[in-house]
Amino acid sequence: MPAVQETVEQVRSIDVDQYKYGFETLIETERAPKGLSEDIVRFISAKKDEPAWMLEWRLDAYRRWLTMEEPTWARVDYPKIPYDELYYYAAPKAFVAPKSLDDVDPEILKTYEKLGIPLREQEILAGVQRPEGASRVAVDAVFDSVSVATTFKEELKKAGVIFMPISEAVREHPELVRKYLGSVVPVTDNFFATLNSAVFSDGSFVYVPPGVRCPMELSTYFRINERNTGQFERTLIIADKGSYVSYLEGCTAPRRDENQLHAAVVELIALDDAEIKYSTVQNWYPGDSEGRGGIYNFVTKRGDCRGARSKISWTQVETGSAITWKYPSCILRGDGSRGEFYSIAISNGRQQVDSGTKMIHLGKNTTSRIISKGIAAGRSDNTYRGLVSAHRKATGARNFTNCDSLLIGSHCGAHTVPYIEAKNASAVFEHEATTSKISEDMLFYCMQRGLSEEEAVALVVNGFVKDVLQHLPMEFAVEAQKLISISLEGSVG
């Protein structure tokens, strides 16, 4: 209830077309030369002080990428990306991995402060910015291509949890990285994933040892700041037998007239009885109402329920980006494993969203659940694309899919493209889908009771997405709710 109230206030206090994270941080950066070549790949690898095997892995990917074509099957439309005009590496100048937050450029810290990210452990510990009783959150902050700070490192270490920038993990835990990197999303998986494998800059690495319940939420904030710079994060999370971890990812970028490319890869591995909960609040700059600027978001996210009775759950709130191309998926390999996908995807202005999930049932008695809520407003297009498949050996596979679309206004589009493949006769797949429009009568009813039109839309939309919001960690749910209202600003009337 108070969250709805806050949403309402938020809506009132913000101007139309206002992306509040659209500021730029003025710091000196060092960039790799423009364009992409083997030399650039070597440059990136050298900057990160990587071992030879990592460089080879990247070069391999780069060579494969040269032979690949950009996919065109998604319902998105954008001008050709000039891969040779982009910068593939940017880092704050004179960047040496900071030993403590005091070594981090104060301008960057200011940026994170503006974004409301509590980087300073002492502040978090003192509870300065957190509501009473809220859990503490360990944060890894990635600015352009490099990770600037990871908080709570010591406390996590005590629990045996490894949470660090992946560039550090490559050096400090090569055995784990080598074993798991590319084991869920193979180097050659798709055009964007392969590109990422060649040039990935940084991202987070998490390893939770057997039987450990990670003592706090882990979180990464990604910020693109540099102009014409692609961002290619790589995240790798391994939950060893019987462990549990909850991870949240947030992202923002300055407003710019030109488009910026973002192509991340996220790999999750859950071993026997382990559980990974991965939540995303994606708020990259969406471009202006005429479709100028905004992030092109081509992301490959996949989780492998490798062990028996393991569980992976994706929750996403997608409000930003000019183009979203994203299908967080689960491979249900272990017997009795479970995959979940909860999604709210909002498009407004000229945004194009093509998003969904794949649930690949390989093991026996595997279950999956998909709840997708698409909201289209303005002149946007919003497509749900999903695949549920059961392998021949996946006896007793079960899926439940619920896919709802809500249209605001009459210039937007919502599309649902579900694929179902059951190669096992015992598989039970259920699919529900609805498309509705926010009706004038419904809004009028709310307005007659004293709500402004925007408050009425916020209320109706919050009702529509409630089933998904409740899967987000509490404090992020409030944040997400605000974000939803802000992104629907000016969508009616």
Partner 1 sequence: MSLLEIKNLQVSVEDDRQILRGVNLTVNPGEVHAIMGPNGSGKSTLAHVLSGKDGYAVTGGEVLLDGADLLAMEPDERAAAGLFLAFQYPMEIPGVATMTFLRTAMNAQRKKRGEAELSTPEFMKRVREEAAKLSIDPEMLRRPVNVGFSGGEKKRNEVLQMALLQPKLAVLDETDSGLDIDALKIAAEGVNRLRSPERGMIVITHYQRLLDHIVPDIVHVFFNGRIVRTGGKELAHELEAKGYADYEQEVAA
Q: Provide the minimum distance between the beta carbon of 351 and partner 1 in the complex, in angstroms, as a whole number.
A: 23
Q: Which of 80, 99, 158, 449 binds partner 1 (CB under 8 A)?
A: 449
The 4-43 contact track toward partner 1, x by CB under 8 A, reads: xx--x-----------------------------------
Counting contacts by CB under 8 A, is residue 267 touching partner 1? Answer: no
**Residue 237 vs 406, nearer CB to partner 1:** 406
Q: Which of 129, 213, 466, 474 binds partner 1 (CB under 8 A)?
A: 466
Counting contacts by CB under 8 A, is residue 451 touching partner 1? Answer: yes
**Residue 121 vs 455, nearer CB to partner 1:** 455
Using the rule CB under 8 A, give the single segment among 3-11, 60-68, 282-290, 384-392 that binds partner 1: 3-11
Q: Provide the minimum distance between the beta carbon of 381 and partner 1 in the complex, in angstroms, as a whole number.
A: 24
Q: Provide the minimum distance between the beta carbon of 388 and partner 1 in the complex, in angstroms, as a whole number.
A: 25
In three-state form (DSSP H/G/I as H, E/B as E, the rest C), the secondary structure along the chain is CHHHHHHHHHHHHCCCCCCCCCCCCCCCEEECCCCCCHHHHHHHHHHCCCCHHHHHHHHHHHHHHHCCCCCCCCCCCCCCCCHHHCECCEEECCCCCCCCHHHCCHHHHHHHHHCCCCCCHHHHHHCCCCCCCCCCEEEEEEECCEEEEECCHHHHHHHCCEEEEHHHHHHHCHHHHHHHCCCCCCCCCCHHHHHHHHHCCCCEEEEECCCCECCCEEEEEEECCCCCECECCEEEEEECCCCEEEEEEEEECCCCCCEEEECCEEEEEECCCCEEEEEEEECCCCCCCCCCCEEEEEEEEEEEECCCCCEEEEEEEECCCCEEEECCEEEECCCCCEEEEEEEEEECCCCEEEEEEEEEECCCCCEEEEEEEEEECCCCEEEEEEEEEECCCCCCCEEEEEEEEEECCCCCEEEEEEEEEECCCCCEEEEEEEEEECCHHHHHHHHHCCCCHHHHHHHHHHHHHHHHHCCCCHHHHHHHHHHHHHHCCCCCC
Counting contacts by CB under 8 A, is residue 131 touching partner 1? Answer: no
Counting contacts by CB under 8 A, is residue 375 touching partner 1? Answer: no
Q: Which of 55, 159, 446, 492 binds partner 1 (CB under 8 A)?
A: 446
Counting contacts by CB under 8 A, is residue 463 touching partner 1? Answer: yes
**Residue 33 vs 463, nearer CB to partner 1:** 463
Q: Provide the minimum distance between the beta carbon of 343 and partner 1 in the complex, in angstroms, as a whole number.
A: 16
Counting contacts by CB under 8 A, is residue 462 touching partner 1? Answer: yes
Q: Provide the minimum distance between the beta carbon of 345 and partner 1 in the complex, in angstroms, as a whole number.
A: 17
Counting contacts by CB under 8 A, is residue 132 touching partner 1? Answer: no
Residue numbers at the binding site for partner 1 (CB under 8 A)? 1, 4-5, 8, 439-442, 444-453, 455, 459-460, 462-467
